Amino acid sequence: LAVKDPTAVERANLLNMAKLSIKGLIESALSFGRTLDSDYPPLQQFFVVMEHCLKHGLKVRKSFLSYNKTIWGPLELVEKLYPEAEEIAASVRDLPGLKTPLGRARAWLRLALMQKKMADYLRCLIIQRDLLSEFYEYHALMMEEEGAVIVGLLVGLNVIDANLCVKGEDLDSQVGVIDFSVYLKSDDDIGGKERNVQIAAILDQKNYVEELNRQLNSTVSSLHARVDSLEKSNTKLIEELAIAKNNIIKLQEENHQLRSENTLILMKTQHHLEVSKVDVEAELQTYKHSRQGLDEMYTEARRQLREEAQLRQDMENELVVQVSMKHEIELAMKLLEKDIHEKQDTLIGLRQQLDEVKAINVEMYQKLQVSEDAMKEKNEIISRLEDKTNQINATMKQLEQRLQQAEKAQMEAEAEDEKLKQEYVNKSESLQNKFSQKEKQLLQLETDLKIEKEWRQTLEDDLQKEKETVSHLRTETQEIVTLKKEFLKLQEKNKQLKSICEDQEAALQELASKLSESKLKIEDIKEANKALQGQVWLKDKEATHCKLCEKEFSLSKRKHHCRNCGEIFCNACSDNELPLPSSPKPVRVCDSCHAILIQRCSSNVP
């Protein structure tokens, strides 16, 4: 016989237990007919079975103090895979009574059942096998097909409504033991197969209705999104249509204006042509009545007509050129104004920088003065300290001399004492008196020596302190020297900035002079244009005499009209001629404004 795998047997047993617990829970809940509480025994057994299923094949994790084996790790992973599970995980972490990871896992299972999303959460967990492998062994129930079967069975629990109180319940210390007596068959169970079939049919219908409801909700949400997008696109199209209508109205108005201008130009040209035709006919009649030079006058009239047409074309071309020049001048004015504003802004910025640099210079000068005063004070202190050290050295030398004298005296006394001991042994009493006196002198000398040593120690301490102050003052002097160097560098930078600022101010002055000249030129051009706009040509009937010689116009004295100032001269008075590239012959020029004169037929000739 083939030996079965014990892990496979465990998985099969757990799967069968899960089937029995889920089936018993659904049947009892439907027969119960109300929302289930946490004290309901089949529900408690279901949670125990689920806990055993999740614990199967769980890896043992080493902690700091002991070995840890809980199901909270994989359940906590669900919130990263399924965003809707974040709310459950947060509420489980915030529960005050839970202290162990197992208690948190039990609370999580109860909240997932109340939400009717336990199957969805575990399905997301089973799909990610690579993440589950961190928590489970390869032969675990959650890693094999049995886990997928249990997730499918959990979908049927969506028909159950549960109202579980998780906050006050002690989930940390519960003992998870499966009660097999609940699942043993009895005579009543055999008799109630028909009722189970009816319940299964009702459950299938309820699942079908819930699935339809979910699909309808998803379609409704998609339709709402489409309606919103269509409304937005409709509003955009309405706005674009309104803009297009406004543009069409504006274009129609512009078209109407252009047509009216075109008709006016046509009317004017027709009128001018009629006037010229009348003048030509009158001149032709005069040429017919006259006997001499009819052919010459006719040809001359034709030539004059061509010249007038050519002059008119030249005038129109010059008018177009003048209009373009005017536009260019306006553009140049705008650009010059922009440049002036920019240059003024840069001038203001440079002045602000100059003021800041001046303020920095003043501050640095004040700091330098303060540092120089401090230097002077420190130099005076150093000189005083040097005087003190000299005095201390002198006193030290005196003390050393006194010490040497005392030592010599002591040596001499000792030598004398030894001599007296050797020579006068018998005169002990007198020698003892002398010896006591010498001892007293020795004690006095020793006390003097101690006092002098203490004094010397104090003087050495003072000398050490003075040396420390001198070293501190030297470091401060070095810092002052570095500050001086920095101040010199800042002064050089200030000079450079001043030179740059002066150059920029000179450039700005040059620009301002050029701009003023260009402004004056533009104002002269504007005044000339205004003067031109105000003047009107005289009518042919009104202009009967020349402006200069005041003689009446005739065939020999023809009219020449200035296009600039509007004056009318005869051909005898307007003798100034200039060559023009557009005409083969030189053109007559006005005496007052030097503009081109236009020859016109005299209307006073019969």
Between CA 447 and CA 325 the distance in angstroms is 116
Candidates 160, 123, 152; CA nearest to 27 is: 160
Stretch among 47-51, 563-567, 569-573 having the lowest mean pLDDT: 563-567
In angstroms, rounded to a whole number, what is the distance separating the alpha carbons of residues 532 and 330? 18
What is the structure's pLDDT at 604?
36
pLDDT of res. 249: 92
Of the candidates 129, 157, 3, 152, which has an alpha carbon nearest to the alpha carbon of residue 57?
129
Reply yes or no on whether the pLDDT at 459 is more than 80: yes
Residue 92: name the closest of 114, 109, 80 by CA. 109
Question: Which residue type sits at 170?
Answer: D
pLDDT (average), residues 138-151: 89
**Per the structure block, which two tokens stand in for 599?**
């020859």
CA-closest candidate to residue 44, choices 98, 104, 113, 101: 113
Structure tokens at 418: 């030894």
For 73-77, 183-187, 342-346, 577-581, which range has the lowest pLDDT when averaged over its residues? 577-581
Tokens for 569?
């001269």
In whole angstroms, give the CA distance from residue 212 to residue 521: 85
What pLDDT score was predicted for residue 601?
A: 41
pLDDT band at residue 248 under the 50/70/90 scheme: very high
Tokens of 344: 């003024």
pLDDT exceeds cutoff 60 at 188: no
464: left (phi over 0), alpha (psi -120 to 50) or beta: alpha
Report the alpha-carbon distance of residue 510 to residue 503 in Å, rounded.
11
Backbone φ and ψ of 514, nearest 5°:
-65, -40
Residue where the block lists tokens 């409801």: 213
Q: Are 504 and 350 within 8 A, CB to CB?
A: yes
Per-residue pLDDT, 600: 45
Euclidean distance between CA atoms 565 and 599, whole angstroms:
15
Residue 135 CA to residue 147 CA, distance in Å, equals: 15
Mean pLDDT of 41-52: 88
pLDDT at 605: 34
> Does residue 68 contact residue 194 with C-beta atoms inside 8 Å?
no
**Cβ contacts of residue 590 below 8 Å, gap of 6+?**
562, 564, 565, 567, 569, 574, 576, 596, 597
Q: DSSP states of 107-121 as a string?
A: HHHHHHHHHT-HHHH
- How far is Cα 203 from Cα 210, in angstroms, rounded to an integer? 10
Exposed (0-12), middle (13-18) or buried (19+): which is 226, by Cβ within 10 Å?
exposed
Residue 385: count other Cβ atoms within 10 Å of its Cβ: 17
Cα separation, 598 vs 589, whole angstroms = 9
Q: What distance in Å separates the CA atoms of residue 319 and residue 73, rounded to the nearest whole number?
A: 89
Tokens of 430: 């007198």
The partner residues of 162 in beta bridges, in order of sequence, read 36
Between 454 and 194, the more confident residue is 454
The confidence score (pLDDT) of residue 586 equals 55
CA dihedral sign, ordered 19, 23, 24, 25: positive
57 within 8 A of 142, measured Cβ to Cβ: yes
The strand ranges marked E within 179-285 are none
* Among 28-42, 47-61, 118-132, the least confident range: 28-42
Tell me the per-residue pLDDT of 501-549, one tens digit each, with 9 for 90 and over: 888 888 888 888 888 888 888 887 877 777 656 555 566 666 777 877 8
For residues 156 and 31, the model is more confident at 156
Q: Is 547 helix (H, G, I), strand (E, B) or coil?
A: coil
SS3 content of the chain, % helix, strand, coil (to 5): 75, 5, 20
In order of their start, the domains of the chain are 6-183 (1.20.58.900), 549-605 (3.30.40.10)
In tens, the pLDDT along 271-300 reads 888 888 888 888 777 767 776 666 777 688
CA distance linking residue 142 with residue 129, whole number of Å:
9
Q: Per-residue pLDDT averaged across 215-244, rounded? A: 89
Listed in sequence order, the residues at least 6 apart from 469 whose beta carbon sits closer than 8 Å to its beta carbon are 381, 385
Give the number of residues written for the chain.
Answer: 606
pLDDT at 564: 59
- Please say if the pLDDT value at position 584 is more than 70: no
CA distance 309 to 287: 22
Question: What is the pLDDT averaged over residues 264-270?
Answer: 89
Q: Is 403 exposed, middle or buried (0-12, 13-18, 19+ CB in 10 A)?
A: middle
Residue 193 has pLDDT above 50, yes or no: yes
What would the pLDDT profile of 3-16 be if each residue is shown by its tens digit? 568 888 888 988 99
pLDDT average, residue stretch 343-353:
86
- In a 3-state reduction of DSSP, which class is residue 200? helix
Q: Dihedrals φ, ψ of 313, to 5°?
A: -60, -45
Average pLDDT over residues 572-587: 54
The pair of structure tokens assigned to 368 is 């330098």
- Residue 126 CA, chain-centre distance (Å), reads 43
Specify the range with the lowest mean pLDDT, choosing from 159-173, 388-402, 532-546, 571-585.
Answer: 571-585
**Is residue 57 scored above 70 in pLDDT?**
yes
- 3 state SS of 216: helix
Q: Mean pLDDT score of the chain, rounded to an integer?
A: 80
